[in-house]
Chains A and B, each alone.
Chain A
Amino acid sequence: MFHDIGEVLLLLGRTLRALPQTARQGRKVLEQLFEIGNASLLMACLLSLFIGGVLALQTGPVLAERGLHHFIGQIVGLSMCRELAPVMMAVLIAGRIGSAMAAEIGSMQVYQEIDALRTLSINPVHYLVLPRLVAISLALPTLVVFSILVGWVGGALVAVTNYQISISLHGFVKSLGNGVEVMDVVNGLLKSLGFAVAIGAIACQQGLSTTGGPRGIGRSVTKAVVNSIVVILLLDYVFTRLLMHLD
């Protein structure tokens, strides 16, 4: 485990040093962005709609019983942008995109494509890791913005239509507006940026250290997803404490 952590940090360091090369890899960054968006946007919206809805459904009746139903917008709004959207989108991206990155780079490693790059004096970190890491760092916060907005819509739909909650759309929006500040959204986006860097670095490191043929590729994909999810949850706690402290 410590070996993997060390390798991820080393790879991250090399990629950060290569950041000035990003403009040269612009086309690959765009290709990766398209792939991430294409693979995840619809699912992210669907997931967020239901998360927002379930959140309103679970909390709304309890609040309404105590005459606090005017807090429902605030609860859905804050939960979505501070916690649920960043974490759920990160887990989704770890499963869909992190696994694909580890599999693609892993198969390139097994089938000597990465050795071929090295013999052509092409640095695999510049060619493979940098565009993926930059793309995922742009894509995940963007997805989180979508997720927050769609989650709010899901929450509003349930809150307005559920007879136990009985709040108007205007009331929901007003409650949301009173409770959510721009910094709450920024907090969520900062978290998601940290998650994105972790997912990209873990997936690429697992891909690059693949050995042993197709079984090795499968092992790398599993490790990339599991390690990413564990790191997302650990980082979530760390970021939350840190951001609370800064608040």
Chain B
Amino acid sequence: MNASPAQGVRLEVRGLTKSYNGRPVLRDLSFTVERGELFVIMGPSGSGKTVLLKHLIGLERPDAGEILLEGEPVGPPETLGRHRVAMVFQSGGLLNSLTVAENVGLYLSEHRLKPPAEIRRIVAEKLALLGLEGTEDRWPAELSGGMKKRVAIARALVVEPQLIFYDEPTSELDPLIAVTIGRELVRLNRQLGVTSVVVTHDRDLAFGIAHRIAVLHAGRFLALGTPAEVRAHADPVVRQFLHADFAFEPHPTPEPVSRLP
């Protein structure tokens, strides 16, 4: 695989608008993700993040606006195929009826791009890249949440992508595995030069890995910039989202338990 930083593609979104049953979910969104950039879209649940991602990958059609990959519209499947776009789903999206190796090699085997021996070699290589050696014959149901996510990333890498979308890559993971996954995203972005778009509500992940962050709320970007710019943003909703924590009013100190005589 070519590790040149020029491998990524440029993604441009212009005036993207979508409503469901008359309820607007995306409102006139416009932004650009540069080649090789790690762009994070964050926002609270129900802000439209996953809907936006589905439009970017071509699974949904917008009511208005356009999405361009290197200047070509995303709609036709050939555009996604030509620019080798991959996606890592929130649940992993692994096919439960296939083993780990069959899942990872699915793109190559279904499109008959390589002979079986070559597919086995590529699958082993991608699994090793993500620290999953020896899991080839296991079933998705036997894997932990973190392993499923890493298998899903391995499956995405087999496409040799120029653009990867990650949907909530650290959800349902404990903090240690979440950090491991975050490091993997950065390493793959640096090593392979892939343009990466990460959708998450994990603030630590966003500020830890992003080149730029967009904060989505009620279908609109309230803030878009470098992590430092977003952190310093004055919008009260952005500040509330970024600074919400578990600091409750302290309880009165309990009475000391009287000692036994």
Q: Which residues of A are at the interface with B, using a C-beta cutoff of 8 A?
A: 24, 104, 108, 111-113, 115-122, 127
Contact = CB atoms under 8 A, between A and B. Distances in A.
Interface in B52-88: 54, 57-59, 77, 80-81, 85-87
Contacts of B85: 119
Interface residues of B, number: 26
A172 to B, nearest CB: 47
B94 interface: yes
A113 B87 contact: no
Contact of B95 (A24, A108, A118, A119): A108
Contacts of B86: 119-120
What does DSSP make chain A's interface, helix, strand, loop or mixed? helix
A112 B110 CA distance: 18
Nearest to A25: B110
B50 to A, nearest CB: 10
- Indicate the member of B58, B85, B96 with the most A CB atoms within 10 Å: B96
Contacts of B97: 104
Contacts of B58: 118
A116 B87 contact: yes
A122 B112 CA distance: 12
Contact of B80 (A112, A116, A121): A121
B77 A113 contact: no
B59 A113 contact: no
Nearest to A24: B112
B111 interface: yes
B154 to A, nearest CB: 13
B110 A111 contact: no
17 contacts: A104-B97, A108-B95, A108-B96, A111-B91, A112-B89, A112-B91, A112-B93, A113-B96, A115-B89, A116-B93, A116-B94, A116-B152, A119-B59, A120-B159, A122-B106, A122-B107, A122-B111
Contacts of B159: 120
A112 B95 CA distance: 9
B93 A111 contact: yes
A153 to B, nearest CB: 37
A113 B86 CA distance: 14
Nearest to B159: A120
Contacts of B87: 115-116, 119
Contacts of B111: 121-122
**Which 5 pairs across A and B sit closest by C-beta, in order of nearness?**
A116-B93, A112-B93, A119-B87, A120-B107, A112-B89
Nearest to A116: B93
Contacts of A121: 77, 80-81, 107, 111
B30 interface: no
- Indicate the member of A104, A111, A116 with the most B CB atoms within 10 Å: A116
Nearest to A114: B93
Contacts of A127: 110
A120 B113 CA distance: 13
- Indicate the member of A111, A119, A121 with the most B CB atoms within 10 Å: A119
Contacts of A122: 106-107, 110-111
Nearest to A108: B95
B106 A113 contact: no
Given A111-B91, A120-B107, 11 more contacts: A104-B97, A108-B95, A108-B96, A112-B90, A113-B94, A116-B93, A118-B58, A119-B86, A120-B110, A121-B81, A127-B110
A111 B93 CA distance: 6
B84 to A, nearest CB: 10
